[in-house]
Amino acid sequence: MLELQDVQQVFAAQQANRRALAQTTAEQRIERLLRLRGEVERRAADIGAAINADLGRPVDNRDEINTVLGSIDRIQAGLAEWMAPLEVPRTPGLPQAKGVYVRYEARGVVLLFGTWDFPIGMFFSPFVQAVAAGNTVLGKTSSMAPATGKVVGEIVSAVFPPEEAIAYSDGDVSTPEGQRLLRDVLLDLPVDHIFLTGSPKVGSAIVAAASKHLATFTVELGGKSPVIVDDTADLDKVAEALLGLKIYNHGQTCLSADYLWVPPHRRDELIEKYTAAVQAAYYEDGVYQWQRDGRFVDRRNFDRVKGYLDEAVGKGAKVAFGGSSDADALVVEPTVLTDIPLDTGVIREELFGPVLPVLTYTDEQEIYEHSAALGKPLGFYIFSSDDEFVERVLANTTSGGVTVNGGMLHWVEENLPFGGVNSSGYGRYHGVWGFRELSNARSVFHALA
């Protein structure tokens, strides 16, 4: 278990080193990131085995590894340009200036909290951007993915000395001792920036902790991300996208589709196409092959989603597909629900599981009012060939990001700023946006002497 003295020693070393690290060149930062890239590649088999142990995903699944490598490659290509002073026009009437520009400077010590659903990608994505911005990193991996957390800590320590970056992999925040670690150790440090991917409950604690020291913060949380289908949508494309939006990682994705709206006369056809796609991808001889994708991270999450499902059925929801579960394997079969009462957990709470509630609408206002009542989600998905419909939905709703006629593409495209809004998070990262998020934009007006 982490001890207060150990954490404080590392924090003091990072504080002492932050000025030197902030003055490193693009070439020096890229050199560090390329060493990290090589270490991630070298440990690919260990990463696959660890993720399999924690989440049941196939050992040869490289999705998270490729995310990290791709992020480093994009930083390598753009960092020198990102670090250059950004010149801005001088306002007429002000003194003549030698230069009017913005310098992007390191924030200092970044306290980074990883997550368990994508324990490699969602730790290293912000990590590499913090390093690119010239910060030191005090990292904490999720105790719910202990095998992967151990590998992450080993990778970081193989590349970076503690005064530059470290990743702690112990401390279960669901236990009293883990709460002490979070509250009295990590969150009591006067760091310069806090970055969290996690739940709204922990996000609130992070924001409160940041306020004590007036640290800046980035929190990426999630929410009830809807899928909106209209009369003009290509249902084959919708069904294909839903495989990733609803089933991938057993539905444990912050951008997962939480529920779906479709016109009544298209509902059954869409369900038929979606369930056929699910069966083709994840079933053999009529049996769900969960090992092709993964399982719940723990019994608590299994019980939570199973409880939502049982409650909905108990209140009159109909199971159009699936519905079975296996507590020993920690899996719930991909499930489609219809005729769902709106006061049930599957409608009110973020699911984080492979259950798809399908709602029907005859008036677009139903979508807008319902979406607003559930808060501002991290993602929003619209399927339509009608640009006017798309524009109306965009104008009447809000979210962190939107993908039209696809799944999670606003996350994949690193030239777009990624993040939430209010209940789904605060701040933006990916690509140059992450570099800027983890930098201080320092304004300089250099008048003539």
Active site amino acids: 220, 254
The rounded Cα 238 to chain-centroid distance in angstroms is 22
Three state DSSP letters for 148-176:
HHHHHHHHHHHHCCCCCEEEECCCCCCCH
User: Does residue 258 contact residue 224 with C-beta atoms inside 8 Å?
Assistant: yes
Q: How far apart are CA 361 and CA 372, in angstroms?
A: 16
User: Of 278, 236, 268, which Cα lies nearest the Cα of 383?
Assistant: 236
Sheet holding 86-87, edge to edge: 86-87, 97-106, 439-447
| Tokens coding 45 | 């088999």
In sequence order, what DSSP letters do the residues of 271-324 get, joined into one string? HHHHHHHHHHHHEETTEE-GGGT---SSHHHHHHHHHHHHHHHHTT-EEEE---
User: Does residue 59 contact residue 112 with C-beta atoms inside 8 Å?
Assistant: no
Strand residues in 204-258 grouped as ranges (E): 216-220, 226-229
User: Of 196, 129, 142, which Cα lies nearest the Cα of 417?
Assistant: 129
User: Does residue 280 contact residue 383 with C-beta atoms inside 8 Å?
Assistant: no
